[in-house]
Structures are given as structure tokens and as C-alpha cells.
Structure 1
Amino acid sequence: MYRVLFLLLFSAGLWAQVDTLYTLPDATVTAFRDEVAGYRVGASVSTLAERELQLIPTADLLPAMNRLPGVRFEQRAPGSYRISVRGSTLRSPFGVRNIKIYWNGIPLTEPGGDTPLNFLDVNNIDRVELIRGPAGSLYGAGTAGTLLLSTDTLSEHASVDISGGSYGFFRGGAQVQWGSANRSANPNDGHYQFRLAHQQTDGYREQSALRRQTAQFSTGWATGTNRSLQLHALYTNLYYELPGGLNAEQYAADRRQARPGSSETNASINYDNLLVGLTHDWSSGRWQNATTLYGTGFYFDHPFNFDYKRETNLGTGGRTAFDYTLPLAGSVLKISAGAESQLQMRMANNFGNETGTPTQLNFSDEILSTQYVLFTQATYDLGAWRFALGLSFSDLRYRVDRTFDAAGEPAIIESSIDPVASPRLSVLRDFGGYSLYATVSSGFSPPTLDEFRTNEGSINVSLQPERGTNYEVGAKGNLNGVQYELALFYLRLDNAISTYSDERGTQLFRNAGNTNQRGLELALSYRPTDWLNLYGSYTYHDFAYDSYERAGDDYSGNRLPGTAPHVVNLEATAALPGGFYTTITENYTDAIPLNDGNSVYGEAYHLVRGRLGWRGDLARTRLDAYIGGSNLLDQTMSFGNDLNPQFGGRYYQPAPGRNWFAGIRVGF
């Protein structure tokens, strides 16, 4: 099967032109307070550059992120994202859990552990760095990974892009940059940047429309010889509908229908959000420092099938990191230390829902979330050896003041999560262009606010934090022109948090004993000729409960719900001097268990995408025009399944069949 697919990918290259380069282990990595080639970092770190993010332009990160081994990026409905890194879907019925995310150095992940990734348009992201596995020694709580997103200075003064496609999809974006003529020499010297984006779709299913507008302003300027400031501001207006999960009979009868009741109650989410962050960088001799302060606020309006939520949120925080470089024994010792602190105040009201209109007040909460992280790391280069030792200390607190309860039980409830230390040790041997490494890291993941305080208003004080230890060995480098990155790991997770739903569909959480998570992740890239790039990745995840009994049922040894045992990605991008280019990608995902008993599985599928276009210069403009399609084999699949529904068997979130898109981008 895959031999045939490779031949198809090779033959597709006779059409096209592209300037994307794949440099998996050689790409510069900054995730661990360094700026070194990826093959010299003793951890699983993947990077995506701007060209790789735009290979298949579907107006979201999904295809680009899913090309990485160990990653599953899902879109349960337009605007409703879910990311799993090394199996974190187990506790992610919606949104992003157990992954710390930063945007331009600003913590996008709230102190309560949730991340509103859907506030970002692809227009707001030029580069991605993903750390797979615990990185708590620098970034605090989390056992799955850390995602660093950033925007760069623009290569053009201005650009405009427009695209459209199936199911009423339309997207328009614009970018403009002006300021100092010296910005190419010093990116932080007086440049100003403005980015706008609008996206909308009617959605594949009933009650699955989306509308999102984003506006980003960024600027940077030098304040001295070795000092600079950067300002990033992002406003997002987001509306998307929630079709809900279907049971097997509904899924087979009509995949495009919504869950009964979703349309009548206008199940949907409305956000208005503002995020502003200011970063100060300075260096002096052997010292360097980066300090970021930020503030954020959003209004949240959410009618759901059985209730109606309205929330107002204010948050603030900051992060500072110092680096000191010391010559030692003919080599270099680099010591990093810093702190991160976040505070969030949320006013949350829960009402009844009658045909999409709030009715009686059920309860009203004032919620205070506070988090801090203290971290330190030492990196020592001793000849061909590279050693890294890190340690963090993190603390998280919730205080819920229930000022009104229709049941007549107002109360003040505080969490009882003990502070935790998270160490990391790695050793790497550089053989000149390739390397071997081994690392041991500890991760700590407390319940998020939405797990501690669930949608229907219950507060789960008995839910315990996850704690895991990850053992990993890997190899990175270049072998006869094939760049490779291989990681083998074993994560032992205690008090694993699992999701389930009640008869109303409310997502609830419980500790599910211990898990054993073994995996192999491989990424390869190869450029056999000047006009052809090939890329492939393979993920094998053997994730199972170690000991887990519930209500008289023993699930020990069963596979973890939400994780596919095998995932394969193949990709080819090809070019000819005529300016035409093509990209074809294929994603095979194995059948996924959807409940603890492993009695229900999501189907395996092959997801094929393609793009054909022309890129070139016309007068003083750079033009890129393209057409393409997704799910070209018209596979039936459920993308973003619901796990462990207690009643109704609503496991399935149907994905679109074969669909098309076309677009044009003009740069000036």
C-alpha cells in the first residue's frame, strides 16, 4: 500500500515549484534557553517554519501539526480544537489540556491549565517549536509537552490573501510592516507590524458554523546598545457552533446532523478576547535576561444543550529568565534561572437555557486561580558531550467563592494541591552532524480549573494531580542526505486523569489509576533532487492502564482511550522551473479505542490532501495562486471522538467528506 503511495508522491512532483526546505534536526531550537541546532538538544523537539505551516492551507494548524510524530491535532467542529501529545487526549474532552503553550513568549495557557488556542489565526503564527514529553524543569506543570508559537518580522512590506472552499468556507487576511530600514540587521529596531484576518464557514454538519476575526499589532524597538522592547497585542472575536456527539445509529444514518437539541438551544460559544504582552531583552557581558509581562481579558457567552454560561475573565502575569555563561575547563557552562507567575480572576454565572436564551440563575461563582513556577537549569558542553540538568518548583491554587446557589448552598472552596518539584537530566553525545541522547524527566499535572469545577457546577475536591516520570533515548542527524529524528520513550503516569460524561453530556473527570505509556516516534526528510522534497513520520504508541478498577470492572491492561497505536504520515512537495508546484500528504491513523473497556473503536482511515499552484513574480508583486482538496479518498471518519460517554453512546464527531479549496496570495 505505502509503496504505491510513495510512487504516486514521486510522480506528483513533475508538476511543481517550491522553496520549502526540510531540516529536521538542524533547525535552530530555542526551547531550552539555547539557540543551537536541533540535533544538539537532548530532547524530542520538532520545529515548523512558516512554509511548512502553509503547505496545505486549510486556515488552521491541523495538517501541519499532524505531520509531526506523537501529535494528534483534532477539530471536533470548526473553531473547536483539541491537541494530544503522547496520549493526552485521555483527559481532553475539549480544548487543550496538559500542554503548556506560549505565544511570542507570553503564556497563552491560563493558570487554570486550559489554553484558548482558537483565539489564534494561522495569520498570527510564523514558527512552531514543540517539546514532546515533560518539560517542567523550565515550564512548570505538564506531562505531555510544551508548544512555543511565535511571529517574526515580515519578509515583505505587505501581503493580502483570500481563499474559499466547500461548505461556505471563506478566509481573508492582510499583513503590513513598516519602520526602520535597518530591521533586517536588527529585527527589534523600530519596526511596526499589523495583521488582520477574517474566517467563516457554514460547517459540514448542522449547527457547526464559525466566524472569527483577529487583529494583531506587534512592534519592537531598541532602547540601548544591548536592550530592546517588543510589544504584541491580539484582539479576537470568535463565534462557533457546537453540533455535539452522535451515537452509532445517528452516525450511520446522517453524519451531517447535529446532536438532537443542539440547534434548538443554539449550542455555541462566543468570545471577545484581548491579550497584550511586553517583553524586555537585555545583555551585559556574560549575563542575559528576557522578561515578559502580560494582561488579558475576555467575555464568554456559551449556550449549551442543558444550561447557559456567561463568564468574564481578567488575567495577568509575567515570566523572567536570566542566563549566565561561564568558561569552565576549556568549555562553557551556561546557568539559567527564572520565575513565572500568573493570576486569573473569573466571574462565572450559570443559567437555565430555553431555546438559546438564559433563564433562571443556577449558581454564581467568583474564582481566583494563582500559579507560580521557579526554575533553574545548567547546560555544560564538554567536548563532544553535552549535559543538561534542570529543576522547577511549581504551585497552583484555586479558590471558588459560590456567592449564589439555587440549591441554597453557597460556599467557599479552596483546592488542596501540594507544591511539586520537577527535575530533568539529559546527556547527549555529538558525533559531528548526528547525535545520541538519553534523558530522564519528571512531570506534574494538577487538575485544570474545568476539571476541578465542571460545567454543571460540581466541584471535585477529590481529584488528584497526575505525576509521571519519562525515560527516553533518541538519535538525530543526517545519514547520506536523509535527515532523521528517532525517539523511544517510556512514561509511567500515576493518578492518570480520565474523562467521561453523564446522561446530560456534561464532561466529568476522575483519576484512573496508573498507566504505562511506551512509544516510538520517527521523522525523516530527504531531498533527492533540487525539485523534490520528501517527508515521512511514524508513531507507535503502546499506551495501557497498569492498574485500574472501577465499579467492579477491572480495566487493567486495556488500551488508553483516545490514542491510536499506529500513525503514518507521508508528504511530497515538488517543483519545476515553470513556477508550478504541488504538495500531496497522506495520513494513516489506526483504529482508536473510545472507552475504558475497549468495546468501541473509532475507525481507521487514510486522510489524503493535495495542493496544486503557481508561484512567481508579476511586476512588483509576488503571486501565489492555488487549488486543492482534503479527504480526497472521501473516507468516512470521526475526528475528535468523545470518550467514555456514560449514557447515549454519543462517541462520534463526524468529519467532512471530500472537500475543496482555492486561494491566492499577493505580496508587495
Structure 2
Amino acid sequence: MIKIKTLTIAKSIFFLAGLLLGSFNIYAQQTIKGKVVDSQNRAALAGVHIQNLSDNSIVISNNSGEFELNSTGTYRFSSLGYEEKEVAINENGYQVVQLQLKAAELNEVIVSTNHLPKKLKKAVATINILSQKEIERGNNFNITPVLNRVPGIFMHNGALNTNRITIRGIGARNLFGTANIRAYFQDIPLTTGSGETTIEDFELTSIARFEVIKGAASSIYGAGLGGTIHLIPQNAYLNQTSVGSELSIGSFGLIKGIVNVNHGTTKNSFRAIYSNTHSDGYRDNNEYDRQTITLTSNHYLGEKDELAFVGSYVDLKAFIPSSLNEDTFRNNPTAAAFTWGQAQGFEDSQRGIFGLSWNHKYSQKLKQTTSVFTSFRDAYEPRPFNILAENTFALGIRSRLLGNTSLFNKPLNWTVGGELFRDWHESETFENLYLDFPIGTGSVEGDQLSDFREKRTYYNIFFETNYDLSEKTTLSVGLNLNKTSYDLDDRFTVTADNPDQSGTYDFDAILSPKFGISHLFTEDISVYSSVSHGFSPPTLGETLLPDGQINTDIQPETGWNFEIGTRGTLINKRLQYNLALYRLDVRNLLVARRAAEDQFIGINAGRTQHDGLELALEYLWVNKKALNLSSYLSYTLNDFVFKEFVDGDDDFSGNNLTGVPSDVFNAGIDFSTAFGLYGNINFQYVGSIPITDSNSLFSDSYSLTNIKVGYRLDLSEKLKLNAFFGLDNVFDEEYASQILINARGFGGNAPRFFYPGNPVNYYTGINANYTF
């Protein structure tokens, strides 16, 4: 009896052991799932080759970037346009692999500026990618040289805090900032409800890359006739913990410190970048102080859900030297404008933006992306004519569905979605009593002059689809519906000199279509063409008449953009090229007519025609481990004219568009060596700029040469150093870095058209990075 029980127990134990061993074996054979994404914009990467280094078997990621593996081990991930990466996969959970773009193969990189991620070479619009390589060509405190190397873009730079961006001539007529151009920080709008955009305050080293879409094709983002600039922040990297620090010094009292911290596990990552920048400035009343902190995090919750957070905070105090008349510009360029110097004018502002994005996959054919965001800005700005105090608070949501299906057995990708944005803006002005106090006192706040509350709202509803007519030909159709409204509450005491300016202005809904097609002649050469509509509404200030009433007759600027272009690689993939020809026809041209020193009235005065050519080339001369040598060239030809422009008794029809150079040429050489030495030299030529609508005055053309050299040293596998030295404006060229168009003199003074550029100046620094 005992023997029978013992035998039964033994059989039971062996049976249970067999079950356990079998279950372990089944578990060991369990499929490992994962996803490959762009490390910066988080776009899914299709067609990635995933090679098992132990048996050389290969798996390819699907259209959603997803893959399945049968075992753990070390795998090599490779894809055109991205750096190869070896990953040790030692667990069976959901895996996320991030690949970094390769600057030498940008046409293969996935861009998502048109909602539907696709390779750049198949895009139907002119899109430029500025990679980390382009960003690091120069200094790390001024964004202007980075953008000015992009054909079609010109950024005026009066000071670190005084800039104006134009794209294909759009935005040139705005006097004191950037308008008619949209910008996004990841998915968060940087453009206010009144259409004004500021990007120069962002820490340049916190930006991983820029994606710029030019022309009215960007109307899928709403009101941005000139184009859209996407700032892609330095992402948080998975499976990596590192700390970096950098210290720089330079001319005009420049000193800058940066701390960069990244921590990532297999599914969660976090990055924080802090910077502190000080400069005394080249000119009087030109001191600049800025602190920033940028935060990003990624959270891969599983196969279907992803969360990402991005935030940025900027604390800025910058004095304003303002523009100079021609005599002072020529003979005493370090001076501040007299009244600005006396008032010690400055801007003191704090700005923050925060956004949370959620990606959810319903199925292989349908997913959703939703972003909610908020932003604020508090500012205090004493000017000679008054003191401005303002604050803005904004909320918004942007959501879209992305799907893929087939039509006549051909792939069709589509997206439909919307964006709702509202901001609340409060502004007050006060007398500036600086003239009533001893020289050197600076601005002193006096009686209140105005008190406004604005509510600015817009929504966009958009649709876009890409249909593959064949493996080589893609048809793109898009549509955007925009509705914009302003609500103004004038809270100041109504008098004969201060009429009540309260009112509401609703623009008619605007429907903007886009049609485009691209064709791959070979795997390396593509041609594209598009026809698209765009628009830019006036700011609330431009809708006000001299008597304080809202001008209900003023209309948004509208335009049609026609372009044809080609991009690709030649000569054994050593030469990358991009070429675009376009015509942008703008109607209801908005003109800021100056009524007083600080008052501008908007009118629709005519029509402009923007014909242009944009060319970018990059050639890889040597690509060896010991030496990498490449050169680049870009050229912009601007033929922009007033087709119809009547302002009062003046007829400027046929004249050149004000505020845009005739042409811009960039060229440079980059090199890097195996033993750590690297550097570049770059040259820029900027043609003359019409300063007045009558074309009676032009700025002088100028040329700038900049150099940078550095040395990278790996002290160990974990600790890396990078020391660098740069020299800007090597030949000490005298030039106007920003033009104030159509300036008028007041009180018998000469008009102040010119902002002087910096003379020859240097910067140097050292960076240390430790990986745990």
C-alpha cells in the first residue's frame, strides 16, 4: 500500500515538473514584440532591418514600425536615413528602439510636418530639415545663423531679443516681430491668437532639429501664409542615463552655462536641460540675461498607448538699444537710440509652455493622436513713449485620427482632425516719466493710459490624404477650415481723447485646399509639385481705426502658392540636392500705416507677387573613419514685387517688396577626424534690401565669414569632453543686421532704419558628458 502511494506521488511530481518545464519552454518561445521610432520626433519607422547577430536572421518592421522577434539576443537595427544601432534584448516585454537620423541621408528621414508621416523624398511640398549637425555649426546662443542658412528663410536680427523672420517674403511687412508664420514646439503652438510668433527665446541646445515647411502648403496648420517652423526638442532617450555640462564665454561679456540630464529605462525616459545666458551686448543699453529650463519625457505604456510630455520655461530680461538713423549707424554703431538710452528701455518677461500628448492605436489601420497644451507669458516693457504691462494665458487641444486602407488595391493613408485654441490677453500702458527725472534714472511709471482685455479664439478642422497611384507616384489632397475671432474689452475711462474701443470681430470662415503630387524617377531622385491656398488674418490692433472703432471692412491676406521642385542624391549618393521654383500670389495685402510713434493702422492696400528659386546642395568629399569632409551650398533668389499697391495718394505698384533681400548665398566646409579634431568655415552673402515702399532707399549688401574648430576627447567609455572655439564676422564687416522698413522721423529727427550687426567676435567653451 505504501509502495503504491509512493509511486503515485512520484508520478505526480514528475507530471507537475513536466508541466512546469513545458510552461518554461513555451515562455522561452514566446514572441517578443516591439516598435522602432525616430529618436527625436517619435515617428514610427517602417522597413527597418532587424538582424539577429547570432544567426543572421532578419526581421523587417511593418508600416507602424512594429516588429516581432522569436528570441532574446543582440540585434542590429538599420534603416536608410538613420544611424545603425545594436540593441541587446534580454527580456520578453514590449520593446521600444529609438534610431537617430543620419545627416548625410536626410531625404530618407521620416517627416511628420504634414500630419501623415512619410519619407522626405516623397513629400509634395518644400520641406527643410535642420539636423543637429546644422545647429552645431555655429555658436549656441543665436538662432539667426541657423535659420539663415535655409534657402527661402531670412531672419533679421537686431539683438538677441529683437528678430523678425520672413519665409518667401511673407512677414517682411511686420515691423517689430514675426507674423504670418506659424511655429510649433513639438505639437504646441508658439503662435499667439493674434498671429505673432516668437522662437528666439528658446534655448538653442535644447532643440534637436527644425522641420520647416514653406509656403501656403502649411495652411493645414491654420493661419500661416508664409509657412510653419517646427522646433523638435531634444528627446528623452530610453535605456540611458547621462549628465552633461557646458560652459562658454565670448565677446561683449558673454557667459553661458548649460546642464543636461537624461534618464531612461526600457519604457520611460526623462530629460531636463537648464541654461543661463548673460551678455553685455555690443551696443549701449544692450544687456541680456536669460534662464531657461526644458523638460521632455516619454512613456510607452504598452503596445497600444504612448504618453509624452514637453515643457519649457523662459525668464528673460533684455535691454533694448533699438534702431539708429543712418548717420549714427555709420559713425557710432555702438550707441543706443537716444530716447531708448535715456529711458533705459527693456523687456522683462516670463514665459512657459506645457503639453501632454497621447497616442492610441485602435488597430493596425487606425490610431489617434491627441495633445492638450497651455501657455502663459507675463511681460513688462518700458519704452520711451509709454510703459507696457501685459500677460497672456492660453489653452488648446489638437487631435487627429490617422488611418490606412486601400483603394483599387493601392495604399491610401488619411488623417482628419482639429485644433481649438483660445488665449486671454491683458494689456495696460502707462506714462513714462523718465524725462522728469535726472539722467540715468531710467523709466519711471506714471498715470495709466489704457486698459484692454482681449479674448482671441480660432479653430482649424483639417483633412489630408496620400494615395499611392503606383509604387513611385503619390497624390496628396488636403483641406483646412479656419475660423478666427477677436473680442476686445476696453476698460479704460472713456473721454474725448480715449473713445471706447470695445467690440467683437469675427472673420469669415476660410477654406484652404491643397493639391500635390510626387514621383520617384529612381530610388534617389524625386520630383514634386503642389498648388495650395493660405491666409493670414490681421492682428486685433490692425483692425482698430483712429477713432477706436473696429474696422469691419479689413480682410485677411490670402494667397495661392504654386511650386515645382526636385530632391535627391547623385554621384554615388555623395551629392544631396533640393531645388524649388515657386510663385506665391498674395491678395488683400495688409499694410501698417503709421499714425503716431506707437500707433499703426492696418489697411488692405493691394497685391504682391512672390517669384523665387531655392537651391540647397551638400557634397560628401571624403567619408572614411580617419576623415570626413563635406561641403554645402544654398542659394535663394527673391523676385518679389507689388503688383498693386496704392496707399493714399502714393502708387507703389511695380516696386520691389520692402524688407526682403534680393538674394542670399551660403557656402561652407565641414570636417571631422578620427582623433577628435573637427571644424567648419561658412560664408554668407546677403543682397540689398528695399527699405521704403517707394524704393528710394536700399540697404547695402554684405558678406559674413564665420569659423569654428573643436576637439572631442573620450577620456573613457563613459566620460567624453568637447572643447571648441569660434570666430564670427572674421573680416569685421560693417552691416545692418535688421532693417526697420518705412521708418519715420518724429520731432524733426531723422528716421531710424538700421540695426547694426556685431563686428568680429569670438566664443569658446568646453562640454563634458558622463554616461552611467
Match of 2:107?
25
Equivalent residue for 1:512, pick from 605, 614, 621: 605
Q: Which letter does structure 2 place at the counterpart of 1:278?
A: L
The alignment status of 1:495 with 2:588, answered yes or no, reads: yes
**Given that residues 301 and 311 in structure 1 are in contact (C-alpha distance below 8 angstroms), is that contact kept between their aligned partners in structure 2?**
yes
Match of 1:266?
344
Deviation at 1:508, TM superposition (A): 4.9
The alignment status of 1:373 with 2:452, answered yes or no, reads: no
SS in 2 for 1:118: coil
Deviation at 1:122, TM superposition (A): 0.8
Match of 1:646?
744
SS in 1 for 2:756: coil
Match of 1:310?
389
Match of 1:141?
223
Deviation at 1:505, TM superposition (A): 5.5
Distance in 2 (alpha carbons) for counterparts of 1:511 and 1:72: 24
Equivalent residue for 2:445, pick from 349, 352, 358: 358
Percent identity over the alignment is 27
Distance in 2 (alpha carbons) for counterparts of 1:316 and 1:133: 27
Distance in 2 (alpha carbons) for counterparts of 1:300 and 1:193: 28
Q: Deviations over 1:239-277 (max 9, x none)?
A: 111111111111122011111110221211111122211
Distance in 1 (alpha carbons) for counterparts of 2:758 and 2:602: 29
Q: Return 627-636 or 31-40, whichever deviates more.
A: 31-40
Q: Which letter does structure 1 place at the counterpart of 2:308?
A: Q
Match of 1:409?
499
Within 5 Å, which residues of 2 pair with 1:221-260? Answer: 221-260=299-338
Distance in 2 (alpha carbons) for counterparts of 1:436 and 1:575: 33
**Given that residues 500 and 646 in structure 1 are in contact (C-alpha distance below 8 angstroms), is that contact kept between their aligned partners in structure 2?**
no
Q: Note closer, same or farther for the CA distance 1:263–1:426 as it changes in structure 2 (3 Å cut).
A: same
Distance in 2 (alpha carbons) for counterparts of 1:39 and 1:591: 33
The alignment status of 1:631 with 2:710, answered yes or no, reads: no
Q: Return 401-410 or 90-99, whichever deviates more.
A: 401-410
Q: Note closer, same or farther for the CA distance 1:408–1:595 as it changes in structure 2 (3 Å cut).
A: closer
Distance in 2 (alpha carbons) for counterparts of 1:421 and 1:547: 24
Distance in 1 (alpha carbons) for counterparts of 2:547 and 2:320: 17
SS in 2 for 1:39: helix
Distance in 1 (alpha carbons) for counterparts of 2:685 and 2:554: 35
Distance in 2 (alpha carbons) for counterparts of 1:256 and 1:179: 48
Structure 1: 5+ residue runs without aligned partners? Answer: 1-18, 183-188
**Given that residues 342 and 370 in structure 1 are in contact (C-alpha distance below 8 angstroms), is that contact kept between their aligned partners in structure 2?**
yes
Q: Note closer, same or farther for the CA distance 1:357–1:396 as it changes in structure 2 (3 Å cut).
A: same
Match of 1:341?
420
Deviation at 1:399, TM superposition (A): 0.9
**Given that residues 544 and 601 in structure 2 are in contact (C-alpha distance below 8 angstroms), is that contact kept between their aligned partners in structure 1?**
no
Distance in 2 (alpha carbons) for counterparts of 1:309 and 1:454: 20
Within 5 Å, which residues of 2 pair with 1:133-532? Answer: 133-151=215-233, 152-154=235-237, 157-180=242-265, 182=266, 189-285=267-363, 286-355=365-434, 356-383=443-470, 384-405=472-493, 407-431=497-521, 432-452=523-543, 462-480=553-571, 481-499=574-592, 501=594, 504=597, 506=599, 508-530=601-623, 531-532=628-629
Matched residues, number: 643
Q: Which letter does structure 1 place at the counterpart of 2:333?
A: R
SS in 1 for 2:252: helix
Q: Deviations over 1:370-390 (max 9, x none)?
A: 010000011101211100000
Distance in 1 (alpha carbons) for counterparts of 2:346 and 2:549: 22
Q: Which letter does structure 2 place at the counterpart of 1:357?
A: V
Match of 2:715?
618
Q: Deviations over 1:420-466 (max 9, x none)?
A: 00000001111121111110000011012454469998866554210
**Given that residues 241 and 263 in structure 2 are in contact (C-alpha distance below 8 angstroms), is that contact kept between their aligned partners in structure 1?**
no
**Given that residues 25 and 484 in structure 1 are in contact (C-alpha distance below 8 angstroms), is that contact kept between their aligned partners in structure 2?**
no
**Given that residues 103 and 131 in structure 2 are in contact (C-alpha distance below 8 angstroms), is that contact kept between their aligned partners in structure 1?**
no
Match of 1:185?
none
**Given that residues 135 and 146 in structure 1 are in contact (C-alpha distance below 8 angstroms), is that contact kept between their aligned partners in structure 2?**
no
The alignment status of 1:83 with 2:185, answered yes or no, reads: no
**Given that residues 116 and 414 in structure 2 are in contact (C-alpha distance below 8 angstroms), is that contact kept between their aligned partners in structure 1?**
no
Q: Return 234-243 or 393-402, whichever deviates more.
A: 234-243
Distance in 1 (alpha carbons) for counterparts of 2:424 and 2:133: 38
Deviation at 1:24, TM superposition (A): 4.2
The alignment status of 1:580 with 2:691, answered yes or no, reads: no
Deviation at 1:34, TM superposition (A): 3.0
Distance in 1 (alpha carbons) for counterparts of 2:230 and 2:302: 27
SS in 1 for 2:103: coil
**Given that residues 78 and 208 in structure 1 are in contact (C-alpha distance below 8 angstroms), is that contact kept between their aligned partners in structure 2?**
no
SS in 1 for 2:224: coil
Distance in 1 (alpha carbons) for counterparts of 2:351 and 2:675: 44
Q: Which letter does structure 2 place at the counterpart of 1:622?
A: K
**Given that residues 455 and 507 in structure 1 are in contact (C-alpha distance below 8 angstroms), is that contact kept between their aligned partners in structure 2?**
no
The structure, 1 or 2, with the larger RCO (C-alpha pairs under 8 Å, 6+ apart) is 1
SS in 2 for 1:593: coil
Deviation at 1:404, TM superposition (A): 0.5
Match of 1:103?
185
The alignment status of 1:660 with 2:762, answered yes or no, reads: yes
Distance in 2 (alpha carbons) for counterparts of 1:398 and 1:389: 30
Q: Which letter does structure 2 place at the counterpart of 1:362?
A: L
SS in 1 for 2:755: coil
The alignment status of 1:39 with 2:141, answered yes or no, reads: no
Match of 2:85?
none
Q: Which letter does structure 2 place at the counterpart of 1:235?
A: Y
SS in 1 for 2:105: coil
**Given that residues 156 and 667 in structure 1 are in contact (C-alpha distance below 8 angstroms), is that contact kept between their aligned partners in structure 2?**
no
**Given that residues 143 and 200 in structure 2 are in contact (C-alpha distance below 8 angstroms), is that contact kept between their aligned partners in structure 1?**
no
Match of 1:14?
none
Distance in 2 (alpha carbons) for counterparts of 1:35 and 1:364: 45
TM-score by length of 1: 0.93
Deviation at 1:141, TM superposition (A): 1.1
Q: Which letter does structure 2 place at the counterpart of 1:662?
A: T
Deviation at 1:583, TM superposition (A): 0.6
SS in 1 for 2:147: helix
The alignment status of 1:132 with 2:220, answered yes or no, reads: no
Q: Which letter does structure 2 place at the counterpart of 1:372?
A: Y
Match of 1:596?
693
The alignment status of 1:551 with 2:648, answered yes or no, reads: yes
Q: Which letter does structure 1 place at the counterpart of 2:755?
A: Q
Match of 1:12?
none
Deviation at 1:551, TM superposition (A): 2.9
**Given that residues 129 and 212 in structure 2 are in contact (C-alpha distance below 8 angstroms), is that contact kept between their aligned partners in structure 1?**
yes
Structure 2: 5+ residue runs without aligned partners? Answer: 1-100, 435-442
Distance in 2 (alpha carbons) for counterparts of 1:452 and 1:204: 37
Q: Which letter does structure 2 place at the counterpart of 1:69?
A: P
Equivalent residue for 2:202, pick from 120, 124, 129: 120
Distance in 2 (alpha carbons) for counterparts of 1:242 and 1:554: 35
Q: Return 514-523 or 108-117, whichever deviates more.
A: 108-117
